[in-house]
Structure 1
Amino acid sequence: MSQLVNLTPHPMHLYPVGTPDRVDPATVTAIAVIPPSPEHRTVRFGQRDLGPDPADIGYPVHRVALGVSDTDNTVLPEPCTDTWYIVSTLVALAHPDRADLLMPYGTIRDLDGSTIGATGFARAARPDGDHR
């Protein structure tokens, strides 16, 4: 059986397929809750502010570098047989070469619009068309 490792900072609540995208959490029970991994650091997609951008649109525009920053960790664990890593959508999209990354799919929000879970997972499409 495959192992799921949650590299996000919060528990991953999975809800039944067909759950409406907005619910009162008191009325729907998660079918699984996957806690953050106690053995791995949270993997975040970092950004570093490089300062103001010269674009003149009437509002501030900043130039940012996406990826590793001084405060965020985008270093993924090495692939491991029969192990899937749950990461944010941004991290998964930044690493389409990694066939072992899962991102939440079928977002479920509470009545205030805050994300509370998902109905499953997705994998980022690989640029070479390989769908391992």
Structure 2
Amino acid sequence: MPVVNLTPHVVTVVDARSRVIQRWPRAPEPARVEAVRVPVRGAAGVPAGVPLVAERRTRANLPEPQEGVWFIVSSVVGSAHPERRDLLVPSDLVRDGRGVVTACRSFVISGTPVRGAPDKGRAAPDPGRTGGRDQGQGGGRGKARGGERAGDKERDMVGS
């Protein structure tokens, strides 16, 4: 099954010994979410002078689901589209000595609820099959990050 990286960074998956399992190139036009922030005046229990904002995020500029195709996205993009079952969000992040994310060890399948105890034999859902759920699209710009091989000079990021 094809996997398409929709982040602006190279995404690298490594095993427990930091050996590269797979690498995907960065997207020329990454999926992004825009956040609109509006100042809020005080809230009960929050000390006076502490700045507060309300935030509204737009939907990402994702392609339509395609049967059998997975899309790698940031956690921000994945969270903006809980109805999508074809999104992979980098997880189990690997960081260098400075705390910079250099790779991931797994992906979370966005929008897939966990039921019962983990089952290593359970198959992942078929991407692109959403059962008629809302597939609304939206434009926007924001942050989405990918990953690079642990220890490389180029420091791309994974996550949001």
TM-score between the two structures when normalised by the length of structure 1:
0.73
RCO (CA 8 Å, sep 6+): is it higher in 1 or 2? Answer: 2
Paired amino acid for 1:15: V
1:84-123 aligned at under 5 Å gives the runs: 84-123=70-109
Aligned to 2:21: 31
The percent of aligned pairs where both chains have the same amino acid is: 31
SS in 1 for 2:77: helix
Could you tell me how far apart the structure 1 residues matched to 2:112 and 2:105 are? 22
Deviation at 1:9, TM superposition (A): 0.6
Could you tell me how far apart the structure 2 residues matched to 1:96 and 1:64 are? 18
Runs of 4+ in 1 over 4 A off after TM superposition: none
5+ residue gaps, structure 1, are 20-27, 69-73
Could you tell me how far apart the structure 2 residues matched to 1:65 and 1:81 are? 30
The answer as to whether partners of 2:57 and 2:80 remain within 8 angstroms in 1 is no
Deviation at 1:126, TM superposition (A): 4.3
Segment drifting more, 29-38 vs 91-100: 29-38
- Coordinate RMSD, CA, aligned: 2.1
Paired amino acid for 1:78: E
5+ residue gaps, structure 2, are 116-123, 126-160
Normalized per residue, which structure has more strand?
1
TM-score between the two structures when normalised by the length of structure 2:
0.62
